């Protein structure tokens, strides 16, 4: 009986010591909230299993496995094709992905917890970003999407059509260039030639017009000045003769 009590006590002590050594893990909600904060809401923790690796006081180290998912579709840039951007979808919204990680915890149920995940590894790419206009902008081609081959064949066909139309476009451009040259010659001829027979430009023609206008104004002022002088002289001469005649007549009468 005494031996049974000793064995029972020893087993109880071992079990109690083992429980203290394993430590008490944070609750699942605590782990999910911390994971979401640490990964900026881009990734979220769906399921987790912890295995205690070390415990001392209120601190413990754990290995973790489980499922995570992304809060949105995530993409990485692959390349450029004409006006299109090639993207690869690395994460699908709400689709579970297996992961493994390490984490440290500090605290107790009464005091609360602080948790830190590290050494995170997932079965999906560790790269990706949200593309806001992915569903409304046709400039993106998703290389691992179901409709990529169809859209790529359409784009390839359109590019081939453009390529085949280049010779015709070049011919049109050359014809247009000839028309532009002819139009330029006609425009140049419109402005006439100078005294030496040289073709004048628009600026030279306007300069000549302004010079002729200024010369005309100067000539008009000269003519008007001369006319005014002649009229003034005639008026002065006409007014002096009668005065002399009247005076002379009066003097003659008195005599």
Question: Cα–Cα distance between 237 and 50 in angstroms, integer?
Answer: 131
Q: What is the mean pLDDT of the chain?
A: 77
Structure pTM? 0.54
- Contact (CB, 8 A) for 161 and 141: no
Per-residue DSSP letter, 56: E
Residue 87 sits in the same domain as residue 12:
yes
What integer pLDDT is reported at residue 56 of this predicted model?
A: 94
Give the model's pLDDT for residue 83.
85
Same domain, 110 and 199: no
Domain membership flag for residue 161: no
Tens-place pLDDT, residues 77-127: 999 887 889 999 999 999 999 999 999 999 999 999 999 999 999 999 989
What is the domain range of residue 135?
2-145
In this structure, the answer to whether residues 46 and 132 fall within a common structural domain is yes
What is 146-210 written as a DSSP string? TTHHHHHHHHHHHHHHHHHHHHHHHHHHHHHHHHHHHHHHHHHHHT-B-TTSPBPPHHHHHHHHH
Specify if 174 maps to a domain.
no
* Residue found under tokens 């999910």: 32
Q: Which two tokens stand for residue 224?
A: 């008007």
**Quick count: other Cβ atoms within 10 Å of Cβ 190?**
10
* Same domain, yes or no: 115 and 219: no
The token pair at 214 is: 């200024």
Asked if 120 and 202 sit in the same domain, the reply is no
Whether 252 is in a domain gets the answer no
Q: How many CA atoms lie within 13 A of 219 on its CB side?
A: 6
Total domains in the chain come to 2
Q: To the nearest 10°, report the CA torsion of 135, 138, 143, 146.
A: 60
pLDDT along the chain (255 residues), means of 10: 39 36 82 95 96 95 97 94 89 96 95 95 93 90 85 76 73 73 68 74 76 77 66 51 42 42
Residue 133, exposed/middle/buried by CB under 10 A (0-12, 13-18, 19+)?
exposed
φ, ψ for residue 143 (rounded to 5)?
-65, -25
Do 56 and 114 reside in the same domain of the chain? yes
Domain end, chosen from 145, 177, 210, is at 145
DSSP designation for 62: E
Q: Is residue 44 part of a domain?
A: yes
195 with 141, same domain: the answer is no
On whether both 26 and 81 belong to a single domain, the answer is yes
Is there a single domain that holds both residue 138 and residue 197? no
Residues 6+ apart with CB under 8 A from 82: 155, 159
pLDDT the model gives residue 193: 72
Q: How far is CA 39 from the centre of its chain?
A: 27
Q: Give the number of residues written for the chain.
A: 255
DSSP states along 92-132: -BT--EEEEEEEEEEEETTTEEEEEEEEEEESS-S--B--T
């Amino acid at each position: 009986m005494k031996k049974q009590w000793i064995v029972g006590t020893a087993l109880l002590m071992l079990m109690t010591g083992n429980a203290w050594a394993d430590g008490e893990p944070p609750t699942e909600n605590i782990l999910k909230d911390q994971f979401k904060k640490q990964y900026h809401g881009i990734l979220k923790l769906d399921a987790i299993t912890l295995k205690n690796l070390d415990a001392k006081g209120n601190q413990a180290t754990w290995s973790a496995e489980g499922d995570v998912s992304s809060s949105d579709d995530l993409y990485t840039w692959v390349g450029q094709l004409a006006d299109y951007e090639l993207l690869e979808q690395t994460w699908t919204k709400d689709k579970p992905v297996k992961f493994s990680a390490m984490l440290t915890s500090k605290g107790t149920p009464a005091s609360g917890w602080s948790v830190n995940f590290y050494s995170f590894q997932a079965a999906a790419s560790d790269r990706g970003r949200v593309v806001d206009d992915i569903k409304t902008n046709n400039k993106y081609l998703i290389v691992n999407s179901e409709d990529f081959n169809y859209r790529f064949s359409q784009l390839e066909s359109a590019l081939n059509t453009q390529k085949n139309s280049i010779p015709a476009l070049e011919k049109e451009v050359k014809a247009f260039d000839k028309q532009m040259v002819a139009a330029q010659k006609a425009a140049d001829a419109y402005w006439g030639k100078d005294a030496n027979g040289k073709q004048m430009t628009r600026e030279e023609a306007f300069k000549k017009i302004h010079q002729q206008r200024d010369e005309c104004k100067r000539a008009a002022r000269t003519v008007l000045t001369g006319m005014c002088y002649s009229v003034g002289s005639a008026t002065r001469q006409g007014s002096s003769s009668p005065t002399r005649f009247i005076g002379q007549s009066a003097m003659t009468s008195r005599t």
